[in-house]
Chain A
Amino acid sequence: MDALLDFARGPFFRFSFAIMALGLLRVIVLDLLGAYDAYRKAGEKDLPWGLIISRSLQWFIPINRVFKYRPIFSSISILFHVGLLLVPVFLFAHVHLWKQAIGFGWFTLSKEWADWLTILTIASGIALFIGRVFTRSSSFLSRFQDYLWPLLLLVPFISGYVCANLTISPKLYQLLMLTHVLSAELIFILMPFTKIAHCVLMPLSQFVSNLAWKFPADTDDAICTTLNKKGAPV
């Protein structure tokens, strides 16, 4: 068990963290390159930059926008995201590990804040999952993985909370700690390749979708070629 934990904390952590950091960078770069290609080919070059920026900012601070349509869902979602981002990055124990590894740390949450935010994240995560299952419009849009990833996100939070706060047997502690580390690393690896990549792609979404509606001059023929219906009337 110790060897497994050492592996999960050492080489496997470096592997998964590298996949996450470089992988997220990769999707941003690929997106921007694709956007640049699209912009170069587009027949009409005018983009509503003001609208794109204001909409991106509005989505970034979702209070104004989503509250109108689904107030309960959106407020729970905001709470979920706050805990999800703050706790792993600013937890004292995590920062301490960083400090040991790379020599410097940063601002940390107090124990009380971290505990309450963790509970909040777990509770709001479960609430969101239930909402997804029982709201018809949501479940209609969901694939299997859309149920799985939110639940997976909760595993390190639950195991971490138990390890940090409850008095448990050393064996169970090690098992839960291993679960905590491995599940978090699984999430790291999945991040660039799943919907979780929206954590870095969000700012680009408005820009890309606006750009997508600017077609190059001879797009219709290319679409037909792609669909193997060359020469068909558009």
Chain B
Amino acid sequence: MNNRVRITKLILWSIVGFAGAVGITRFLFGLGATTNLTDATPWGIWIGFDVMAGVALAAGGFVITAIFYIFKREEFHSFVRPAVLTAFLGYLAVVFGLLFDLGLPWNIWHMMIYWNPHSPLFEVGWCVMLYTTVLLLEFSPVPLEETSRYARIRRILMKFRFPLVLLGIMLSTLHQSSLGSLFLIMPFKLHPLWYSHILPLLFFISAVALGLMMIAYESLVSHWLFRRKPETNLVEKLAKAAVWVLSIYFIVKMADIWLSGEWHLMFDGSWESYLFILEMLISTVIPIILFSIKKVRTSTAGQWVGSSMVVFGMIFNRINVGGLTMLRATGDTYVPSWMEITISLGVVSAACLAFLFAIERFHIWKEKPQDPEWEPYTPPVFDHTSEVWLGTPPLAARTKYTLVLLLSFALGFALIPSHKIESKGVEIVPVQKARGGDTLFIDGNHDEYGVLFAHTQHIDSLGQKQSCDKCHHMNMPMDKATGCWECHRYMYSPTDAFNHDWHADAHGGNIACTQCHPKGKERQAETAKKCDDCHLDLLPSDNPIKVENYTAPPYVTAMHELCVSCHKKKAEELSDKKNLALCTTCHQSAPPKYLKAEISKHLSGPYFNHVVIPGVNLKQEKEQLHKNE
């Protein structure tokens, strides 16, 4: 009886169940409910570990195919199938894990149609997509050999094996390095010890080293799991190769740091410097030393220690580049929430389960490991606690694994913090009256970021007193120009402009129900009188905005719809005001002088809503606005 496999499977299933509950919560309630990510730290452990490290960990696939097919090292044949399978599952895990991190995961296909060839992410996305397909085609002959029915498809795939291998190596070279190119855009965000112009090169070399060690590590783990004789000789050869690649990586990295004059940063005592030294020791220096000694290289224990150091050290490197060393620049503190860690572990566990499934089902190794449930044959067992026949061993295993999955899923779902998912909806932000006289400062929530609105100038240009209706499309009784804020009472949520309770209240309108609701009919909004049946001056006669129901849109929406639609029209009509409908026309003005003292603290820096659009002469427009003021 092989209990190692059984216990491992139970643990993996329980992690998958736990992560499943968190995953559902993430898609139901969003990133805010499940992660500690912020606007300053939008890339957390899901990018650092799942994507950056995930792609690097799957590098074994292209490394082994290069060794076997290109360099013709036939002795590594037994590594090809497991390594290609690991790479395929690794890439699936990367894509699947990425779905959790994307804000709009259903748009993941956009990169296929909406091309942005300037973006490294575009290249990475395409490469990962194509390479996953290539890996599928490289691997599919293995399951297809199980039945003779698909022999023809298999033969065709085998014929194209060599071009597929070449394509796979090419694509890997591209995107393993491009993942590094992603960070070239952030020279001021990434810590100088990790930032380098040759990041793509460093990523590629380290991926090759990691690929070699991943093949070794995976061989060690799976042989331990299924109690097989370890492939010590082959792993030793991989370790020997890894020493060379790691040495090149070490020299290139150190030379880069030396040449860019950042040597002193390594020993300046900041926590990044310790992080860097630790990373280099684990991922590169100690493994090089260990594997240079023949005695260590040829012993199973030495292989375990060395390969796991490289694997975890390189994961550490990817996490460091992927966000950890940006925290100093952003001033943010980010510690991944337990839910983020759970999802990452769950994705890995699911991939491991798929790996075990494939190992037991197909000829990944020369001889299939026996399904632990079938050795030796045991008749169905009667379970006295539940008073049921558990059935044949595989059937009992199915029952057990799904039960573990179910229980851990329910536990995970119960542990999700209630306050994170019990949202009261959009926060209500009340609107206040615009301040000013001839020129108004529109700043509904009084957060001091607003828009200057030249009210008098608009009256003059739109046609004096007759033009009020063009904007003031609905007025309170006895009023001619009611302010926007009186009906659009909330910044971001709609308001019921008709105030029912005020009308019914003795201190308000104090009118009887029957004045609006006809007798004998159910009292509903549909059957009641319309507002303008009583308030004859409610709607001005020739206003361009038709009031359909009395739900007033949010203040922000109302402002934009009213101003922008008119500005667009005018921009077409007037040849000298082409820029009228641009964001900067309104969102650039400094607040009026009488507010300046109040908000002086904001005057020194750039404004929150200061939009810069190329080709528009901001300075000139700004002067014009100040002149108006």
Contacts and interface: CB of A to CB of B under 8 A. Distances in A.
Interface string B399-425: 100110111011101111010011000
A34 B410 contact: no
A22 interface: yes
B402 A26 contact: yes
B534 interface: no
Contact of A12 (B403, B405, B414): B414
A100 to B, nearest CB: 8
Nearest to A6: B418
A56 B422 CA distance: 41
A101 B379 contact: no
B410 A19 contact: yes
Nearest to B29: A102
B409 A22 contact: yes
Interface in A159-205: 192
A15 interface: yes
B411 A15 contact: yes
A101 B409 CA distance: 19
A140 B415 CA distance: 44
B492 to A, nearest CB: 17
Given A11-B418, A12-B414, A19 B380 contact: no
Contact of B414 (A18, A29, A192): A18
A26 B414 contact: no
B398 interface: yes
Contacts of B403: 26
B21 A18 contact: yes
B28 interface: yes
The bracket for how many chain B residues form the interface is 20 to 34
Contact of B410 (A6, A18, A29): A18
B395 interface: yes
Contact of B28 (A17, A22, A29, A102): A102
B570 to A, nearest CB: 40
A10 interface: yes
Contacts of B409: 18, 22
A101 B33 CA distance: 13
Given A14-B416, A30-B398, A30-B402, A225 B410 contact: no
B398 A11 contact: no
Contact of A30 (B399, B418, B421): B399
B402 A15 contact: no
Contacts of B402: 26, 29-30
A18 B409 CA distance: 7
B414 A34 contact: no
Q: Is the interface of B mostly helix, strand, loop or mixed?
A: helix
Q: Which of A26, A29, A34, A192 has the most CB of B within 10 A?
A: A26
Contacts of B21: 18
Contact of A22 (B398, B410, B416, B421): B410
Nearest to A100: B422
Contacts of B414: 11-12, 14-15, 18
Interface string A1-21: 000001000111011111100
Contacts of A18: 21, 409-410, 413-414
Contacts of B411: 15
Contacts of B415: 11
A19 B413 CA distance: 10
Interface in B197-239: none
A161 B380 CA distance: 47
Contacts of B380: 226
Interface in B368-401: 379-380, 395, 398-399
Nearest to B389: A226
Interface string B161-182: 0000000000000000000000
Interface in A33-81: 33-34, 37
Contacts of A29: 402
A37 to B, nearest CB: 8
A34 B395 contact: yes
Contacts of A138: none
A177 to B, nearest CB: 18
A15 B410 contact: yes
B8 to A, nearest CB: 21
B331 to A, nearest CB: 35
A110 interface: no
A37 B391 CA distance: 12
A34 B380 CA distance: 14
Contact of B406 (A10, A22, A37, A100): A22
Contacts of B422: 10, 100-101
Interface string A90-113: 000000000011100000000000
A184 to B, nearest CB: 16
A23 interface: yes
A228 interface: yes
Given A33-B398, A34-B395, A26 B406 contact: yes
- B380, B409, B415 interface centre (most CB from chain A within 10 Å): B409
A101 B413 CA distance: 14
A101 B416 CA distance: 14
A180 to B, nearest CB: 19
Nearest to B20: A22
Contacts of A192: 406
A201 to B, nearest CB: 15
A2 to B, nearest CB: 14
Given A22-B406, A33-B398, A14 B413 contact: yes
A33 B395 CA distance: 10
B401 to A, nearest CB: 10
A26 B405 CA distance: 10
A161 B402 CA distance: 37
A23 B405 CA distance: 10
A229 B532 CA distance: 91
A11 B420 CA distance: 12
Contacts of A33: 398
Contacts of B407: 19
Contacts of B398: 30, 33
A23 B406 contact: yes
A36 to B, nearest CB: 12
Nearest to B422: A101
Nearest to B419: A10
B418 A10 contact: yes
Q: Please indicate which of the listed interface residues B380, B409, B413, B415 has the most CB atoms of chain A within 10 Å of its own CB.
A: B413
A101 B411 CA distance: 19
Contacts of A101: 421-422
A16 B410 CA distance: 7
B406 A19 contact: yes
Interface of A: 6, 10-12, 14-19, 22-23, 26, 29-30, 33-34, 37, 100-102, 192, 225-226, 228
Interface of B: 21, 28, 379-380, 395, 398-399, 402-403, 405-407, 409-411, 413-416, 418, 421-422
5 contacts: A10-B418, A11-B415, A14-B414, A18-B414, A29-B402
- Pairs A-B, 6 closest by C-beta atoms: A15-B414, A18-B410, A18-B413, A11-B414, A10-B418, A19-B410
Given A18-B410, A100-B422, 19 more contacts: A6-B418, A11-B414, A14-B413, A14-B416, A15-B411, A16-B410, A17-B413, A18-B21, A18-B413, A18-B414, A19-B407, A22-B405, A22-B406, A26-B403, A26-B406, A34-B395, A101-B421, A101-B422, A226-B380
